[in-house]
Chain A
Amino acid sequence: MLSSTADHLYWMARSIERAENAARMLDVTYNMSLLQRTGVDPFNEWRAMLSISGLHVDFETRYPEPSAENVLYFMALDAQNPGSIYQSIFKARENARAVRRTITSEMWETLNQTWLEMRRIQEETIPEDGMSRFFEWVKERSHLSRGITHGTLLRDDAFRFLRLGSFIERADNTARILDVKYHILLPSPSEVGGAADYYQWSALLRSVSSFESYRKVYRDQITPQRVAELLILRGDMPRSLMACMSEVDRLIVELNGPRSAELLRRSGMLHSELRYGTIKDIFDFGLHEYLSSFLERIYELGDLVNTTYFWSVDE
């Protein structure tokens, strides 16, 4: 397959996944921010959200303060923010457009329709209490496009590059969502175990559609260790790091290619560590430290995908 085609497919999938996860992350942040606590910076949650997305510098240059209204607009609708949902949907559609002949017409039509609706929504601007509905819409469009891909696309390398993009992006995003909690709790560690703590962990679970699964798996109260275990190590949780990495690893094995040795090695290692790791080791190491290192390695993996399949420097 042409490198540029693979590149478009991969970024098309990453952009859709990124839009969906931004919606999830904003949703959980919004819910957490509703729980006002005395003596805590009122913009605490929103600051955390910006810093884990790595977008705080861009935000601060253009907005006066990280209020709910500002951050929601910036992250959801701001056309100048390359990480906004608006921009992610735009990129997904532009990449799809470039490979219209490779994807199925249903896939193209769905993404094109999503983009047209996104443009209309952006022009109308959303009231703050309409945000949840908007996030639902983003998730639904992402589910729809994933479903259509599954239901219509030939299982060849095009399909694999799409999946590769989805799972690398999702691994990155799940790690970031888990890290939200760390950033929010930092100012007042004394609250651990309190009502607010419980509320925050359950909001986090809900944001990755895992609340019911948690109940099913543990049949017990919510504890940080179990939430982390569920979202990091459980292979049967579709958004966990383990589930993402086992897909990524399998796809890289299937794609293979003459330059993929280093990529195979790295993804295999990351996958094995998750597979044989324990939550106790992760907590002993420090959850935040663990997630930061994971994010770094998933970033390097993405870089390696790029040089292996799309833009090799040594050719």
Chain B
Amino acid sequence: MLTAKLDRVPNPVAEMKLAFDEMRDANGLVRESYRSFAQWMESTPAEVIARKREEADITFHRVGITFAVYGEDEGKERLIPFDIVPRIISAKEWKRVEDGLRQRVKALNAFIHDIYHGQEIIKAGRIPLQQILGNSQFRKEMVGVDVPGNIYAHIAGVDLVRADTSAASGEYFVLEDNLRTPSGVSYMLEDRKMMMRLFPELFARQAIAPVEHYPDKLLNNLRSVAPAGANDPNVVVLTPGQFNSAYFEHAFLAQQMGVELVEGNDLVVRDHTVYMRTTDGLRQVDVIYRRIDDDYLDPLAFRKDSALGVPGLFAAYCAGRVTLANAVGTGIADDKAMYIHVPEMIRFYCGEEPILPNVPTWELSKPDDYRYVLDHLAEVVVKEVHGSGGYGMLVGPTSSKEELRVFREKIIAEPARYIAQPTLALSTCPTFVETGVAPRHIDLRPYVLSGKDVTMVPGGLTRVALKEGSLVVNSSQGGGTKDTWVLEH
């Protein structure tokens, strides 16, 4: 049935050349949202722009906005390339995206709560029980555990891509729901700061929605889910430590929120209460914004060899003495196998039709889908069900024969480990490259905060694949970032 639906998606390879251009329409005319920016670019001398780009590079280096890449020498921190052409979204477009995100994240939170409580969605026959119980992301320890406000995914980084379909031009699709420890928001903030510093005149020309208050919103959100009885909740950010690739962001967010950045051995549990060790003695901790995976949180509950975690933390959590954000067990909903069911979750929990569609997806555990994908391997994108960060995926159209052959064998060996999607022609945005300004594929990661309310700052992080024709935007795979502007009217 799913295959039949996919037939309506036009030939993806042909479409690559005609990707939706964020700046210009099919006739080459500058879109309304980009008009002011395009005028500015035409009237600003090339040398001025070149100088500003250089300034951006130097500043990023000095501030040290870097990330460590797995597998590279310790201390070799890389800079994420920053492009000065913003990604601009009109107010009307954003309104729809925002409504869609809010609806989706509400449904996801309802789903996680349901899975660890009544499992109504399974009883209703909408999702097969086996897909839950057989899933490595399902935490049986969480069954029956209540969390404040029934919120699990306090911070969601939903990846959106934009592509033309036969039905609509520039449709937004949800590619992934990142519900565990989505990263990248520090780049969103630093990119904006950089743009305002380099081109203040651009911000004077039109009303661009601010994003700088994200850390305040995040702090409010975290405080709103503190355990009952915490008057002035003490929030901390828990990091695996300075060798983690996202350490910069952990330190940055803690500093911006004005809270402590802690590692596992800074925390101690006594009588089901979590404390941090300070020079003035123990101080109670109410909310932990943890950037450590479930497995490493508590050696008594999960991986025994974890040196990063806090012994007794999970018991304190189950006793309702501390809030973990995101909750333990959210991975069940951002798994690529579960992704397929999100539209159904929205119908089930919200009683609404999804505003933002999924990218059509083949499940290789299903015989029909399996056959179709193996027959069309050079046209599709294959991903690991549990993979993330752009590692271990295959982009059919840009892969060599040898790469295709190797991947085919991997699929045949373990079909259930993979899903596949059509190679969407991700929208492009003009980007500075060595030869001048050229279109490059982009995506968008808005950060959705759930606590007392569901909120977000307009826009998010736009990632750009800097290699010509590349569809992989991950920073670990050579991607860069852009400032994202949502116009206020």
Within 8 A of A (CB), among B430-474: none
Known pairs A101-B251, A101-B255; A315 contacts B282 (CB<8 A): yes
Contact A258 B277 (CB under 8 A): no
Within the complex, the shortest CB–CB distance from B311 to chain A, in Å, comes to: 14
- Residue B281 CB within 8 A of the other chain: yes
- CA–CA, A161 and B280, complex, Å: 13
Contact A2 B242 (CB under 8 A): no
- Provide the residues of chain A in CB contact with B278, threshold 8 Å: 1-3
- Residue B261 CB within 8 A of the other chain: yes
Contact A259 B281 (CB under 8 A): yes
- Residue B265 CB within 8 A of the other chain: yes
- CA–CA, A284 and B280, complex, Å: 42
- CA–CA, A279 and B424, complex, Å: 85
- Provide the residues of chain B in CB contact with A312, threshold 8 Å: 277, 281
- CA–CA, A240 and B270, complex, Å: 44
Within 8 A of B (CB), among A261-315: 309-312, 315
- Provide the residues of chain A in CB contact with B282, threshold 8 Å: 315
- Residue A191 CB within 8 A of the other chain: no
Question: Which of A4, A97, A309 contacts B266, CB < 8 Å?
Answer: A4
Within the complex, the shortest CB–CB distance from B33 to chain A, in Å, comes to: 37
Contact B280 A4 (CB under 8 A): no
Known pairs A98-B242, A100-B251, A101-B261; A257 contacts B281 (CB<8 A): yes
- CA–CA, A198 and B206, complex, Å: 80
Contact B281 A2 (CB under 8 A): no
- Residue A6 CB within 8 A of the other chain: yes
- CA–CA, A297 and B277, complex, Å: 26
Within 8 A of A (CB), among B262-290: 262-263, 265-266, 268, 270, 275-282
Contact A2 B280 (CB under 8 A): no
- CA–CA, A272 and B255, complex, Å: 41
Contact B255 A3 (CB under 8 A): no
Contact B268 A309 (CB under 8 A): no
- Residue B114 CB within 8 A of the other chain: no
Within the complex, the shortest CB–CB distance from A159 to chain B, in Å, comes to: 13
Question: Which of A6, A100, A101, A315 contacts B279, CB < 8 Å?
Answer: A6
- Provide the residues of chain B in CB contact with A97, threshold 8 Å: 242
- Residue B344 CB within 8 A of the other chain: no
- CA–CA, A259 and B278, complex, Å: 11
Nearest chain A residue, comparing its CB with the CB of B260 = A2
Contact B251 A257 (CB under 8 A): no
Within 8 A of B (CB), among A37-71: none
Contact B255 A2 (CB under 8 A): no
Nearest chain B residue, comparing its CB with the CB of A108 = B64
Most buried by B among A4, A101, A257, A258: A4
- Residue A255 CB within 8 A of the other chain: yes
Chain A proximity mask over B191-229: 1 for CB below 8 Å, otherwise 0: 000000000000000000000000000000000000000
Contact B265 A4 (CB under 8 A): yes
Contact A315 B242 (CB under 8 A): no
Most buried by A among B254, B268, B276, B279: B279
Chain B proximity mask over A243-269: 1 for CB below 8 Å, otherwise 0: 000000000000101110000000000
Within 8 A of B (CB), among A84-103: 97-98, 100-101
- CA–CA, A315 and B242, complex, Å: 26
Most buried by A among B254, B262, B278: B278
Interface size class on chain B is 20 to 34
Within the complex, the shortest CB–CB distance from A267 to chain B, in Å, comes to: 16
Known pairs A2-B262, A97-B242, A315-B268; A157 contacts B279 (CB<8 A): yes
Contact B281 A315 (CB under 8 A): yes
Known pairs A3-B266, A101-B255, A101-B261; A257 contacts B279 (CB<8 A): yes
Contact B266 A2 (CB under 8 A): yes
Within the complex, the shortest CB–CB distance from A106 to chain B, in Å, comes to: 12
- CA–CA, A97 and B266, complex, Å: 17
- Provide the residues of chain B in CB contact with A3, threshold 8 Å: 266, 277-279
- CA–CA, A101 and B242, complex, Å: 12
- CA–CA, A258 and B254, complex, Å: 26
- CA–CA, A161 and B279, complex, Å: 10
- CA–CA, A311 and B278, complex, Å: 9
Nearest chain B residue, comparing its CB with the CB of A6 = B279
- CA–CA, A105 and B261, complex, Å: 18
Nearest chain B residue, comparing its CB with the CB of A1 = B279
Question: Which of A101, A157, A255, A258 contacts B281, CB < 8 Å?
Answer: A258
- CA–CA, A100 and B65, complex, Å: 13
- Provide the residues of chain A in CB contact with B265, threshold 8 Å: 4
- CA–CA, A258 and B283, complex, Å: 12
- Provide the residues of chain B in CB contact with A161, threshold 8 Å: 279
- Provide the residues of chain A in CB contact with B281, threshold 8 Å: 257-259, 312, 315
Known pairs A101-B261, A257-B281, A315-B268; A2 contacts B276 (CB<8 A): yes
- Provide the residues of chain B in CB contact with A100, threshold 8 Å: 251
- CA–CA, A315 and B281, complex, Å: 8
Chain A proximity mask over B213-249: 1 for CB below 8 Å, otherwise 0: 0000000000000000000000000000010000000
- CA–CA, A313 and B268, complex, Å: 12
- Provide the residues of chain A in CB contact with B275, threshold 8 Å: 315
- CA–CA, A174 and B260, complex, Å: 37
Contact A2 B277 (CB under 8 A): yes
Nearest chain B residue, comparing its CB with the CB of A116 = B75
Within the complex, the shortest CB–CB distance from B291 to chain A, in Å, comes to: 15
Nearest chain A residue, comparing its CB with the CB of B275 = A315
Within the complex, the shortest CB–CB distance from B231 to chain A, in Å, comes to: 21
Within 8 A of B (CB), among A1-25: 1-4, 6
Contact B242 A4 (CB under 8 A): no
Contact A309 B242 (CB under 8 A): no
Within the complex, the shortest CB–CB distance from B310 to chain A, in Å, comes to: 13
- CA–CA, A101 and B186, complex, Å: 15
Nearest chain A residue, comparing its CB with the CB of B63 = A105
- Provide the residues of chain B in CB contact with A255, threshold 8 Å: 279
Nearest chain A residue, comparing its CB with the CB of B270 = A315
- CA–CA, A3 and B280, complex, Å: 8
Nearest chain A residue, comparing its CB with the CB of B254 = A101
Most buried by B among A3, A100, A255: A3
- Provide the residues of chain B in CB contact with A2, threshold 8 Å: 260, 262, 266, 276-279
Nearest chain B residue, comparing its CB with the CB of A98 = B242
Chain A proximity mask over B161-188: 1 for CB below 8 Å, otherwise 0: 0000000000000000000000000000
- Provide the residues of chain B in CB contact with A309, threshold 8 Å: 279
- Provide the residues of chain B in CB contact with A310, threshold 8 Å: 277, 279
- CA–CA, A123 and B275, complex, Å: 45
Contact B277 A4 (CB under 8 A): yes
- CA–CA, A97 and B68, complex, Å: 14
- CA–CA, A291 and B433, complex, Å: 67
- Provide the residues of chain A in CB contact with B266, threshold 8 Å: 2-4
Question: Which of B255, B263, B270 contacts A4, CB < 8 Å?
Answer: B263
Chain B residues within CB distance 8 Å of chain A: 242, 251, 254-255, 260-263, 265-266, 268, 270, 275-282
7 A-B contact pairs sorted by A residue (CB < 8 Å)? A2-B262, A4-B266, A157-B279, A161-B279, A257-B280, A310-B277, A311-B277
| 3 closest residue pairs by CB, A with B | A3-B277, A309-B279, A6-B279
Extra contacts, 15 of them, besides A258-B281, A312-B281 (Cβ < 8 A), are A1-B279, A2-B276, A4-B262, A4-B265, A98-B242, A100-B251, A101-B251, A101-B255, A257-B280, A257-B281, A258-B280, A310-B279, A315-B268, A315-B270, A315-B281
